[in-house]
Amino acid sequence: MATPLLLFGTYFLAEEMFDLISDIGGYEITGFVENLDRERCKLEIEGRRVYWIDEVAELARTHLAICALSTTRRKELVERMGLMGFKLATLVHPTARVSSRAKLGEGTFISALATVSTRTVLGRSVFVNRGATIGHHTTIGDYCSIQPGANVAGVITIGPQTYVGMGANVIEHRKIGTGCIIGGGAVVTEDLPDRVLAVGVPAKVVRTNVELK
């Protein structure tokens, strides 16, 4: 029997995750959950109901949940899910390659064609988008998002709530702080402190004190 699953999120990524999860098997997505715009609850997505977030707490007894946001707001939503009692699904697309020696935290989602190498640790509710690669002996903190085609090399530490943009590269043996944003296509060759926006080749800090959601 398939495990019932709720997707917390109602925008384009939620639709893509619906499609990807259908390839995994063993789960039945019974609905989507919206937390910002109640008007979206008038919609259906893939023929499924869109619930308002205050309506789903009773489903925590029978459903797993997963976050369908890849933005810096992941932590806020996942923590709210936990307060309602939801346990998080940890999902890996069948075309991804995840080492048997890697560790994935609760609620992590590994998309199609992604790679997670040996002795690498991903924290709670990390989102690894399609085609991203994460090298060996790397640690990625809770609530991080690694976007399509990003290449995080080996022996790297990335702090919680950091966002690595599409096609970005992080060179080996680097330490990236908490709450950073690495722009699409950037090449990170130096360590980054907490809460900075870094862009360019090589990446340079262009903003400090990035707001954490």
Peptide bond into 160 cis (omega under 30): no
Distance CA 110, CA 202 (A): 27
SS3 (DSSP) at 13: helix
Set 93, 136, 137, 173: catalytic member: 136
Q: Which of 8, 5, 145 is nearest to 72 (CA)?
A: 145
Q: How many CB atoms lie within 10 A of CB 4?
A: 15
Cα separation, 6 vs 73, in Å, equals: 18
The answer to whether 93 is a known catalytic residue is no
- At 163, list the tokens: 């966002």
In contact, 143 and 122? CB cutoff 8 Å: no
CA atoms within 13 A on the CB side of 168: 27
Half-sphere exposure of 105 (CA within 13 A, CB side): 16
Catalytic residues: 136
